[in-house]
Amino acid sequence: MGKRYFCDYCDRSFQDNLHNRKKHLNGVQHLRAKRVWYDLFRDAAAILQEEQTKKPCRKFLQTGQCDFGSNCRFSHMTEQDLEKLSAQVQGERRSKELQQEGADVPPGTIEDWLEKRAKRLSVAQS
């Protein structure tokens, strides 16, 4: 039967020869599957920046579904989704800044930490 090539992105196998592999690796289905895979590992800031530049998808807003799915060139995020993503990005930036300053970030939410910090500062000032 010969060697077979298994593509992890597409989750399929085929006979391994130069023609078949080249045809598969340049195919639309493989390129889409590869893009979806790498999109899973993007940070929230990159996703937010990309979504803010896109216009809202009318079909998705009207029906809740879009025929193009993740390949749609329009945004499928609502205003609330964008606000949540923006808050997540700001939280990540704050924690990164705190780590650069050398401060210990206790487990829990950032708001809890900020409240404790404000109390400590007010006690220290009085």
Asked if residue 32 belongs to a domain, the reply is yes
- From residue 112, give the alpha-carbon distance in Å to each of 16, 51, 117, 124: 56, 29, 9, 18
10 Å CB burial of residue 19 (0-12, 13-18, 19+) is: exposed
| Average pLDDT over all residues of the chain | 87
Joined together, the tokens standing for residue 87 give 């808050």
Does residue 104 have a pLDDT over 80?
no
93 shares a domain with 57: yes
- From residue 76, give the alpha-carbon distance in Å to each of 43, 53, 57, 81, 83: 18, 12, 6, 9, 14
Residue 114 pLDDT: 86
How many structural domains comprise the chain? 2
Task: Give the range of the structural domain holding residue 47, as residue numbers without chain letter.
Answer: 43-105
Residue 117 pLDDT: 86
Residue 25 pLDDT: 94
Asked if residue 110 belongs to a domain, the reply is no
pLDDT tens string 12-59: 999 999 999 999 999 999 998 998 888 888 888 888 999 999 999 999
50 shares a domain with 35: no
Residue 1 pLDDT: 57
Number of Cβ atoms within 10 Å of the Cβ of 88: 15
33 shares a domain with 49: no
